[in-house]
Amino acid sequence: MVDNWGFIAVLTLVAFTVPLIGLALSWLLRPHRPGPIKQTTYECGLETIGDSWVQFKVQYYLYALIFVLFDVETVFLYPWAVAFLGLPLFALVEMVIFLGILAIGLIYAWRKGALEWV
Amino acid sequence: MSQQTVVQLVFGVMAALSLGGAMGVVMARTVFVSALWLILSFVGVAGLYITLGAGFLAVIQVLVYVGAISVLILFAIMLTEDVMGDEHPNNGQVGLAIILLTPLIFLLGKWGFTANWPVKAAAILPRSGLSVDAATAAALPGALKTGDAFLVPDSVAYLGRVLMTEHFLAFEVVSVVLLVALVGAIVIARD
Amino acid sequence: MNPDLTPTIWILLEAVVKGAIVIGALLTGFAYSTWFERKVIARMQVRLGPNKAGPAGLLLPAADGLKLFFKENIIPRAVDKGIFFLAPLISMTVAVLAFAVIPVGDPTEVPWREGLLQLGIADFDVALLYLLGVTSFAVYGIALAGWASNNKFALIGGLRAGAQMISYELAMGLSILGVVMIVGSLSLHEIVVWQKAHVWLVLLQPLGFVIYVITAIAETNRAPFDMPEAEQELIAGYHTEYTGMRFALFFQAEYIAMLTVCALAAALFLGGYSLPGVELPWFGDLAVFLGKVIAGMFVFVWIRATMPRLRYDQLMDFGWKVLLPLSIINVVATAVGLALYQNGVFG
Q: Give the pLDDT confidence of A11-69 residue by residue, as tens digits.
A: 888 888 888 888 888 888 888 777 777 777 776 666 666 666 666 677 788 888 888 88
Q: Is residue A118 part of a domain?
A: no
Instruction: State the Cα–Cα distance between residues C312 and C328, nearest whole angstrom.
Output: 23
Beta bridge mates, C275: C278
pLDDT at position B83 is 52
User: Up-side HSE of residue B103: CA atoms within 13 Å toward CB?
Assistant: 3
Instruction: State the Cα–Cα distance between residues C40 and C43, nearest whole angstrom.
Output: 5
Neighbouring CB atoms inside 10 A of C132's CB total: 25
Residue of A nearest to B50 (CA): A5
Q: Is residue A75 part of a domain?
A: yes
C336 Cβ contact partners less than 8 Å away, ≥ 6 residues apart: A92
Do A117 and C317 form a contact (C-beta atoms < 8 A)? Answer: yes
Q: What digits encode the pLDDT tens for the residues B112-162?
A: 888 877 665 444 555 555 555 666 656 555 555 555 555 555 678 878 888
**Rounded percentage of chain C residues whose pLDDT exceeds 90:** 14
Q: Is B178–A69 a contact, with Cβ atoms under 8 angstroms apart?
A: yes
CATH of domain B1-117: 1.20.120.1200
Q: Is residue A63 part of a domain?
A: yes
Do C213 and C303 form a contact (C-beta atoms < 8 A)? Answer: no
Domain locations in chain B?
1-117, 124-191
In angstroms, the Cα distances linking C228 to C171, C236, C240 are: 19, 8, 11
Average pLDDT (C314-336) is 89
* Residues of chain B scoring pLDDT < 50: 121-123
Does the beta carbon of A116 lie under 8 angstroms from any beta carbon of chain B? no
Domain locations in chain C?
71-342
The DSSP secondary-structure symbol of C278 reads B
CB-closest option in C8, C126, C184 to B59? C126
In degrees to the nearest 10, what's the CA dihedral of C18, C21, C25, C28? 150
DSSP per-residue string spanning C104-140: -S--EE-TTSSSEEPSSS---TTHHHHHHHHHTTHHH
The one-letter amino acid at C48: L
Q: Is residue A117 part of a domain?
A: no
Supply the mean pLDDT for chain C. Answer: 84
In angstroms, the Cα distances linking A76 to A65, A69, A81, C334 are: 18, 11, 9, 17
Q: Which residue has the higher pLDDT, C198 or B144?
A: C198
CATH number at residue A70: 1.20.58.1610
Q: Which of C220, C237, C101 is nearest to C169 (CA)?
A: C220
pLDDT at position B91 is 67
The residue segments making up the domain with residue A61 are: 2-111
Residue of B nearest to A68 (CA): B68
DSSP per-residue string spanning B64-95: IIIIIIHHHHHHHHHH-GGGGS------TTHH
Q: Is C185–A43 a contact, with Cβ atoms under 8 angstroms apart?
A: no
Residue of C nearest to A9 (CA): C15
Average pLDDT (C19-26) is 88
Q: Is A58–B189 a contact, with Cβ atoms under 8 angstroms apart?
A: yes
pLDDT at position B188 is 81
Neighbouring CB atoms inside 10 A of C236's CB total: 18
Whether cis (ω within 30° of 0) applies to the bond prior to C308 is no
Enumerate the residues of chain A whose CB falls inside 8 A of the CB of residue B56. Answer: 79
Q: Is residue A116 part of a domain?
A: no
State the DSSP H helix or E strand holding residue B132, giving kind and residue range, or none if neither: strand B131-132
Backbone angles phi, psi at B93, to 5 degrees: -100, 20
Counted domains in chain A: 1
